[in-house]
Amino acid sequence: MHRYRSHTCAALSKSDVGATVRLSGWVHRVRDHGGVLFIDLRDHYGITQVVADPDSPAFKTAETVRGEWVIRIDGVVKARAPETINANMATGEVELYAHEIEVLSAAKELPLPVFGEPDYPEDVRLKYRFLDLRRETLHRNIVRRTQIISAMRRGMDEAGFAEYTTPILTASSPEGARDFLVPSRIHQGKFFALPQAPQQYKQLLMVAGFDRYFQIAPCFRDEDPRADRLPGEFYQLDVEMSFVTQEDVWETMEPMMTEVFEQFAEGKPVTRNWPRIPYEEAVRKYGSDKPDLRNPIIMEAVTEHFAGSGFKVFAGMIASNPKVEVWAIPAKTGGSRAFCDRMNAWAQSQGQPGLGYIFWRKEGETLDGAGPLAKNIGPERTEAIRTQLGLGEGDACFFVAGEPSKFYKFAGEARNRAADELNLIDRDRYEFCWIVDFPFYEWNEDEKKIDFAHNPFSMPQGGLDALKGEDPLAIKAYQYDAVCNGFEIASGSIRNQSPETMVAAFEKVGLSQQDVEDRFGGLYRAFQYGAPPHGGCAFGIDRIVMLLVGAKNLREISLFPMNQQAQDLLMNAPAPATPAQLRELALRVVPDPKKKD
């Protein structure tokens, strides 16, 4: 028999009754039932109930073991009595009668519980992450993560892709966040950067003729943490294809990712055909470029109903500024003054002056609009709004006004707030879409200049002619995001493979041809030697896993995450370098004048 086990703790069944077996694992818990000890033994695969009665030679040792000790048990498999069968356990029809127990490793008193799922301070959980990972839900999430990644790899292989690995030490690249810099010992005063994404390398692979690339790629960004993004590093399914249009990318990746979700959705419905929604349409209908389509609320412009109306606030704004619009946020079943007042109070808590509303109720046989706005604009305009939005008795509508570019995000938040409070969202499904036709440039108000709105290596719609002849802020790009349940899970584009177009695109944001050659020399040179049309995308693995396991925080699906202050409490990183290390790198640490001793 093997030194430690003949079976795992999930393997025993009624077919093993009468067999002598050996198990090893952790003591999940010990129960004393009138002198008979029951030990739940746990390993990576599951749990087996072990029985040690006073007549067993293992009983004396069984009395000493405690939770989370690692032990080896030899014994005989017996069937449980019908009334003691545990249908919730894979091994619930049998138990192991111990005749020998060996303690392989004793455990000190635990700094946090691993049995059950109690709330516990995060700093303790992260410092003792190796214990935290024994908790059932977290352990299961990590296993599910590996299964999801394996399914992605199978799907990519079936679609004709090959996995290539790209360098980790590279040059700095403008991916929209701060780089992690790595000082060079050999080339003192110079620095590598950890890749924010393998963007340039995967494009170079297309120039090199590899056609269909993918990689489960680690990416590094020195940015502040938030619930749906971990500090430091994250992983993405990185994809690139040659001789493709954006439709080819969608038609390749959409069915593969749909199948991955269906495999792990546990029966929840998954969108089979992802709608393509232009960016401007998404902003106007949902107030977001990552809309949650489970939310049935669709916003509409109702400016004409307030122009010249008795509601002087909106009417005056419309008359004085041609850019002003009024948007309606219809809220079915929200037609009570109490709910409308709560929404108004919420808006004020967000720094807004308020949230105008109308709600509809029946007075006898008449359906009337109620609320201050209804009184100001009159019954005819109120009825026109109700008819346009398809509302009825017991429904409400909220209104925001101004220049859409300044209020659309708040309108989207109000849309989500109303649907959440009214329980309009079907949370047991996965709704996907592609957001397409993103702006190529945006205005940077802080620096008073034009910046790239998305990926700087994308192809502008209209190509070089558009860059030379159109208003930069009117140019759209062959860029697209995949969205699921309100989360951006992928971003991609058709790339620009023309050196002339590349230079022209960067000139719009203030970089010269020499800057392009200096900063992106590898890509710039490659495009001059026969670059195929190519495009791709990158799916965020961490967010996908979070959605599929129902986690609220990415730390619940990651092995060894940092805390909210971007610290690794387990390994005590970051940590100071030794004087010898700094001398080798020709570096000196300059004290932060803002920090006091």
Q: Which amino acid is at 456?
A: P
> What residue has token string 């991609």?
492
- Which tokens sit at 203? 């494009």
Nearest to 338 by CA among 357, 325, 352, 324: 357
Q: Which amino acid is at 383?
A: E
The CA distance from 438 to 59, in Å, is: 70
Q: What is the 3-state secondary structure (H, E, C) of 307-374?
A: CCCCCHHHHHHHHHCCCCEEEEEEECCCCCHHHHHHHHHHHHHCCCCCCEEEEEEEECCEEEEECHHH
Full pLDDT tens readout for the chain, 597 residues: 999 999 999 999 999 999 999 999 999 999 998 889 999 999 999 999 999 999 999 999 999 999 999 999 999 999 999 999 999 999 999 999 999 999 999 999 999 999 888 888 999 999 999 999 999 999 999 999 999 999 999 999 999 999 999 999 998 875 567 899 999 999 999 999 999 999 999 999 999 999 999 999 999 999 876 656 778 899 999 999 999 999 999 999 999 999 999 999 999 999 999 999 999 999 999 999 999 999 999 999 999 999 999 999 999 999 999 999 999 999 999 999 999 999 999 999 999 998 999 999 988 788 999 998 999 999 999 999 999 999 999 999 999 999 999 999 999 999 999 999 999 999 999 999 999 999 999 998 888 899 999 889 999 999 999 999 999 999 999 999 999 999 999 999 999 999 999 999 999 999 999 999 988 888 999 999 999 999 999 999 999 999 999 998 889 999 999 998 889 999 999 999 999 999 999 999 998 887 765
Q: Using CA atoms of 490, 494, 498, 501 in order, give the dihedral in degrees to the nearest 10.
A: -80
pLDDT of residue 172: 82
Residue numbering of the annotated binding site for ATP:
221-223, 488, 540-543
DSSP string, 283-313: HHHHSSSS--TTS----EE-HHHHTTSS-HH
pLDDT of residue 596: 61
Residue 98 in contact with residue 50, Cβ under 8 Å? yes
Q: What is the pTM of this model?
A: 0.92
**Do 123-266+533-592 and 14-105 have the same topology in CATH?**
no
pLDDT of residue 175: 55
The CA distance from 201 to 192, in Å, is: 15
pLDDT of residue 591: 87
Separation in Å, CA 199 to CA 172, 174, 217, 236, 520: 12, 10, 11, 12, 11
| Maximum distance among all Cα pairs of the chain, rounded to whole angstroms | 94
Residue numbering of the annotated binding site for L-aspartate:
175, 221, 454, 495
Residue numbering of the annotated binding site:
175, 221-223, 454, 488, 495, 540-543
- Which tokens sit at 470? 């159109």
> Is residue 438 classed as helix, strand or coil in its secondary structure?
coil
pLDDT of residue 111: 95
Main-chain phi, psi angles of 256, to 5 degrees: -65, -45
Residue 368 in contact with residue 378, Cβ under 8 Å? no
Choose which CATH entry (3.30.930.10, 3.50.50.60, 3.40.50.10860, 3.40.50.2000) describes domain 123-266+533-592. 3.30.930.10
pLDDT of residue 78: 97
Top-level CATH class of 14-105?
mainly beta
Q: Which amino acid is at 487?
A: F
Burial of 573 (0-12, 13-18, 19+ CB in 10 A): exposed
Q: Which amino acid is at 253?
A: M
Cβ neighbours for 336, distance < 8 A, ≥ 6 positions apart: 359, 396
Residue 415 CA neighbour count, 13 Å, CB half: 29
Question: 10 Å Cβ neighbour count for 173?
Answer: 20
> Is residue 111 classed as helix, strand or coil in its secondary structure?
coil
pLDDT of residue 22: 98
| Superfamily name with CATH number, domain 295-421 | GAD-like domain (3.30.1360.30)
Give the domain ranges of the chain: 14-105, 123-266+533-592, 295-421
pLDDT of residue 290: 97
Residue 7 gets which letter from DSSP? S
